[in-house]
Amino acid sequence: MSVSTAAVAPSVCAPLPVLGGDVTVPLVTGGEVAYAALDYAASAPALQRVWDDVAAYAPYYGSVHRGAGYLSQLSTDLFENARRTVAGFLDCRADDQLVFTRSTTDSLNLLAAALPAGCQVFVFETEHHASLLPWRDARVTYLDAPRTPDQAVQTLERALAARTVSIEGGHGPALVCVTGASNVTGELWPVRELAATAHAHGARIVLDAAQLAPHHPVSVRDLDVDWVAFSGHKLYAPFGSGVLAGRADWLRAADPYLAGGGASRKVTRREDGGVDVEWHDSAARHEAGSPNVIGAYSIASACKALTEAGFDTLVARERHLIAEVREGLADVPEVRILSLFGDDAPRVGVISFVVEGWNSSHFAAALSAEYGIGVRDGLFCAHPLVRTLLGTAPETQGECGAPEAAPGEKSLNAIRVSFGAGTPDEHVNRFVHAVRELVTQGAKWRYRTEDGRCVPAV
C-alpha cells in the first residue's frame, strides 16, 4: 500500500512528549512491547510539560483564597493566573466568566442547573452522554442525526423556527448544545454556522469542546458561542478538572451549583433561626469548597504547551496520522469505518470501525493482549449515535460478547482508535499492521467473556 504524506514530511516522533512512552506491557504470546496508547478520546496521556510543572509547584501547594500564609497566597495567584491563561487559550470575551469544574460532564450539568425558567434545549441525538443527558429537567427537543453539516444546520433551523410559544406569548429562553468534534467519528461539526442559526432565532449555544480543544484551536469569539466546556484529562492534563467558560448572566442569576464555603460572600443568622446568604457574583459562586488548584494549573500548563507548539503544526501532523490510519483500514475489505458526514469530512484523530466476522470486544482484546495496543470498544457513551451508525449491521461473530449488548439484542458495538500530539508514528504503524494481521490470520490466542469483558483465556 502506498501511504500519502503531507507536503512537508512529518516527524516520526510525537511533537509533545507524554508520560508513559517508555512503559512496556506483557503479551500473551510471550515477551513485552512498548505500550501503544491509542485511546486519547477517553483520556489522553499527561504531557511531560504538565507533569514537570505540577511537580515543581507541589512543594508550594497551599489552600486557595483567604489564606494569609505565603504558600496560600502563592497558590491563590497560581489558581487565578490559571483562570486567565485558560480564558486566553479559549479567546474569551472580556466579560465572560470561566468556572473550573471537574470535567465536561460537570460543566454541562452546572449549566443545566443554571438554565432560566422555561428554557427550551435543543440537542442532537449524536451527542456524547455528557451533553445529551444533563438537560432532562428542562424542555428538551432531541434532533435526529444529520448526514451532512448542511443538514445539521437545516435541522436546527427548522426546530428553532417551530419552537413552542410561552404562556407570556413569546418564545422564552432557548439553548442549543452541540459537539465540536464527535467522540465516535472524529468529524468536525459546523459550529460557527450552528451558532449563527441559534442566535438568529434568539437562542444561545454551548459548545462541547472535549474532543475539539486537544486537536484544534477553540475561539469563543470567532465561533461566536455563548459557552464552551471541556475536560483537562482529554487535554493532556490529569487531576480531575474541567472548564465552563462563557456568558456570565445566567450563571450569576442561578443558585450556586454547590452550596458551601467559597461560594458565599456573607452568611448571617436570622431571628427566626434560619440563615441569610449573599452569594458571590464571580466564578466563585459555582466553585464551592476547596478548589482543585493542581487540576486548574495542569490545564493551564497544557494550554500553554499546545499554544507554544502551534496548532498549525499539530493539525498538519495529525492529518498525516489520520490518513495513515484511514488508508490502512481501507486496505482491509472486512473493515468498515463509521461516519456521519462521509469520507471527505474534516475530522480529528478519532476513528471508529467494525470488522466483519469479529465482535468488537474480541478484536480490541486481541489488539491489547497480542500487540500491546490500547483502544476502546463499545458504544463510547454515545449510545444513540453508535446505534444509528450500526443499525443495519449484521449479527457479529466472535468468541466474546459485547459488553454493551442487552439480552436478545444484536452485539452493536464498535472499535475506536484515537490519537493526538503525543502519538509517535510507530504506534499508528503497529496498529494498522495488527488490524491487517488479525483479519487475515486470526487471533493467536483464545478469549472468553469475564464480567462482561473479553479477556485472554488462561
Amino acid at 347: R
Taking CB atoms within 8 Å and a gap of at least 24, the contacts of 133-138 are: 134/105, 134/108, 134/109, 135/175, 135/177, 137/112, 138/112
Closest CA to 54 of 293, 325, 350: 293
- Residue ranges in 232-291 assigned as alpha helix (H): 249-253
CA dist., res. 189 & res. 380, Å (int): 18
What cell does 68 get? 494569609
Note whether 281 and 266 are within 8 A (CB). no
* Residue of 92, 381, 400, 454 marked catalytic: 381
Residue 13 bears catalytic tag: no
Angle between helices 360-371 and 425-441 (to 10 degrees): 120
Closest CA to 442 of 393, 390, 394, 399: 399
Helix, coil or strand: residue 121: strand
- Residue ranges in 238-359 assigned as alpha helix (H): 249-253, 293-309, 311-330
Catalytic residues: 381
